[in-house]
Every structure is written in structure tokens, then in C-alpha cells.
Amino acid sequence: MKSLILSPYFSILADECEDVTTCEELSICCRWLVNSRPEEHFTTILYITATDAASITKALNSFILEKQLDYRKLVGQASYDGAAVFSGSKTGFQARMRTNSAHALYFHCACHRSQFASIQAAEITLNCRTEEFVYEYV
């Protein structure tokens, strides 16, 4: 954590899920510079009582304060699943984080987007079994 605190910049990657005991948890990874090279590390799991944007923001803010991280160094936020709780531009988690760090750019997780595209492609492929479908879209 010392190298994270000393880094001139850092980004947060977060995702929420329910574990096997039905407890909600927020996985946190951080990316920061070490000797001018980016490093990414799993940082912690935060157990949360609710999955709304306000509760998730409160949990992450507590983590940032506890670890003595500087919001002015937060330049990116990513790995959110695209749900409104995370991606909402007015009241979502990413918007709330930007109140503390206006330059913390939000990126929808590329892995989540790829998964969604794969699911849609599979659904379309299942529908391609009829000639009418093929002629309709060709």
C-alpha cells in the first residue's frame, strides 16, 4: 500500500457481487504507477449492507480514507458492470465518486461489454436457423 500512497496517480476498479453466504461484497483493485510503470493489484473486499449507489460510495470512501489515499490523485474508475447503480451519470456510483475527484474518468469494463456482446451473438445465432431470418438480415 505504501507504493499506492506514493504514486502520483491511481485508478479504482470495482465490482459488486453476492457471495455463497448471500453477503454482498465489493471487490476493489487499484492500478497505480511504480517506477513510472503501471501495476494493478487486488486491494480488498468490502462487505456492504446494501447495493445502492450511496451505500457503495460510502464503503469506498471509507476505504480511501482508511488507506490515506488522495482523491486528487484518482484519475480513473473502471470495471463496473454497466448497471445504473455504477454507471449512472447523475446519481450512480461513478457520478458520486466524481464529486470527490472531478477528473476521475469512468470506463465501462471491457470484459463486461465483451460478455454482453457474446451473449447477444449467441442469441442471434440461435435465431439463424430459419431461411426467413437470414434473408431478412442479409
Render pLDDT for 6-50 as a digit per residue (tens, 0 to 9).
999 888 888 888 888 888 898 888 999 999 899 999 999 999 888
Is residue 9 in some structural domain? yes
Is residue 119 in some structural domain? no
Lowest mean pLDDT, pick from 36-40, 42-46, 74-78, 99-103: 99-103
**What range defines the domain where residue 61 resides?**
2-109
Number of domain units in the chain: 1
Report the CATH number at residue 79: 3.30.420.40
**Distance between CA 51 and CA 18 in Å, rounded?**
10
Is residue 36 in some structural domain? yes
Residue 116: Cβ within 10 Å count? 13
Is residue 137 in some structural domain? no
CA distances from 103 to 35, 89, 116 (A): 23, 14, 28
The pTM for the full model equals 0.68
